[in-house]
Chains A and B, each alone.
Chain A
Amino acid sequence: MTFIWTTIGALLTLSIYSFLYKDNPFYKFAEHLVVGVSAGYYLVIYYFNFIHPNVFSPVFLLRMGGEPIGFGSFLWWMALIPGLLGILLYARFFPKFAWVGRWALGVYVGGYAGLGISPVMQARVIEQLRANAVSVAGVEDPFAAMTNLALGVVIFAAMTYLLIVKRNLGTKNLLAKIGVLLVSAVMGYAGWWVLSLISSTGVVSLTNILLVVGLLGTLSYFFFSMKHKGLLGGLARVGIAFLMVGFGASFGYTVMSRVSLLIGRVSFLLHDWLHLID
């Protein structure tokens, strides 16, 4: 029995991969089968896991989670009202009454925005701010960190200024000069950490510095209220470099992911179906 199912699975896999050669009826058949089967599968799963226990059973059978509930009780209404709102969504099939569907949609969108906004704000903004502030400064000995910082900034700011700024950015704007200097200082600090890395100290702090520099640069790149000149221009250039590295990493990971999918299928064909390998 298992063999028959595995064989069907294997044949469907091969049908899908036949698209690599060119579009053909086997591929079309498999594709449509997937769409149809998953629609049916989802319907069953949704009904028995959700609609039945949360709507049908409490409203009509007066039972919720194995416990009886009273007709017209609070829990009964709590099952009925959302159920009715859900049915309103289907009003869109009758153009004249389509607008009532918006009530349900309003509850849905409002509810989810309310649930989501605060945790997302906390997880993606506040926690990240805190973690970055702590990680960049998170060196055991604050005094050592400060001297490191000061020395690093001075040495590399001077070097970068002499080598790059003076030659390439002959700008007359004082603010811009200071800006570029600041950027070089930040880059300088990163450079200083490369040196200290070679000498003895840990990798963690270096990656943390890079993290913060990348974050600052990227945020600046996506700042639209000022022209990209001077300080902002410099930071934005740093940002774009980091973005590109990020995209490269992400590209690599994606390739890895897709390859894994292929490996999974090949493994299924060779191991589960043909038993050629163990």
Chain B
Amino acid sequence: MTMKLLRSLTFLAVVSLAVCACAQDARPDSSAAMSLDTVPPAPITCLEARDYVDNSDAGDKIHITWSLSADDGGGMSDVASYQLWRSEGAEAGWDSLGVAAAGQTSYLDETAEPGVDYYYGVAAFDGVNYSEQTSFGPVAGRTNFFQKTRVSVLVLMLVFFGMVLVFTKLAERGADLFVRRIPGLNAIEEAVGRATEMGRPVLYVPGIGEIDNIMTIASLTILSHVAKITARYETPLIVPTARAVVMSAAEEVVKEAYAAVGKPDGYNPDNIRYLSDAQFAFAGAVNGIMLREKPAANLYMGAFWAESLLLAETGFEAGAIQVAGTAMVSQLPFFVTACDFTLMGEELYAASAYLSREPKLLGGLKGSDWMKVLSITIMATGVIIYLLNPDNAFVAWFSSQ
């Protein structure tokens, strides 16, 4: 503890000294004569060398910074370059390290041995004469396992993961986590009701994603809910699929749903169909079902790509009530235009969590919910603090590398 304090104090002292030196050194320089150049340029000031931390830190980099010589840009304006030297001890000899162009105020030494103490010397050069050399040291390169400039990323990530885990655990223990009812679910129920009134089937398309796609999984949860309603109303439910595994999963889901409401005989395995893995062949086949079997309600839930508009447009022309749900942002505009109701993005997952109360889904949903609250809070705080002081540490913390 004492050591730490001492180190901080030393650091502060060094910094304040450096600042003082910089402030004092703004001396005017107009004494130069334009004859044969025997006058060396003014030396540089504020030389500092620090261990350089980047993403591939092996402790072999030291970053050297300085303030320009008074003759660089101003004064005699004759600085051509800066010469850098390095030494392994105050008494050891200086080795040439490199050259920085005039106007440059930093140099990255990428040839340091990790852990070795170095001294650095820099002098301005006008083509003939070197200025007095300024030196700094000792400084050693270290391998850093932790990049302090990215703390904000770590903190927010831990907070987010922590919230997801806590909510998941809570849900597993049966805590009553509130999720509001998504209006889209009402729309689904209305659509199924309408199909029953008209005595026509319900078409449920679980997207063309694979079974490992989270949207497909969410879709199967909603399918279970829909199947329970159609089972009760004794309305036929057609489920066309584009993936073999999704088809067998859908079969299980629908069969269980029919059994759950006490209508196991109402389940018709012929209505859960595998059509084609090829995207447009699948879309064409589903369009065929819409035109031939005339479902009164078309539900599209899951992962959709370019076939979205083909399906929704045909369904619209066929006069069905359509409810869609997807998290594919690029396809949402098409569903929004062509369907009566659309579950947008996260609403699909929310609907699925609401219906299934599955702990992992609930945990993820609640976690991201509170992350949104945190984001809004951070943003609002940032706006206010920034208005008061644009150079504040709060916003800077978030803009760190």
Residues of A participating in the B interface, judged by any CB pair closer than 8 Å: 23, 117-118, 121-122, 125-127, 129-130, 132-134, 136-138, 142, 145-146, 149, 212, 215-216, 219, 222-228, 243-244, 247-248, 250-251, 254
Contacts and interface: CB of A to CB of B under 8 A. Distances in A.
Contacts of A215: 379
A187 to B, nearest CB: 16
B291 interface: no
B11 interface: no
Given A130-B398, A219-B375, A243-B344, A137 B369 contact: no
Contacts of A133: 378-379, 381-383, 385-386, 395, 398
Nearest to B336: A247
A222 B284 contact: no
A224 B350 contact: yes
A212 B334 CA distance: 26
Contacts of A250: 329-330, 332-333
Interface in B318-365: 329-330, 332-334, 336-337, 344-347, 350, 354, 365
B347 A225 contact: no
Interface of B: 150, 152-154, 156-157, 160, 178-180, 182, 284, 329-330, 332-334, 336-337, 344-347, 350, 354, 365-366, 369-370, 372-373, 375-376, 378-379, 381-390, 395, 398-399
A223 B373 CA distance: 8
Contact of B365 (A132, A224, A244): A224
A254 B333 contact: yes
29 contacts: A118-B154, A118-B157, A122-B153, A125-B156, A126-B153, A130-B382, A130-B399, A132-B383, A133-B381, A133-B382, A136-B383, A142-B387, A142-B388, A142-B389, A145-B387, A146-B387, A212-B379, A215-B379, A222-B347, A224-B346, A224-B369, A225-B179, A225-B366, A225-B370, A244-B336, A247-B333, A248-B333, A254-B330, A254-B333
Given A223-B373, A225-B369, A126 B180 contact: no
B369 A223 contact: yes
A142 B330 CA distance: 39
Nearest to B152: A126
Nearest to A28: B281
A225 B178 contact: yes
Contacts of B379: 129, 132-133, 212, 215-216
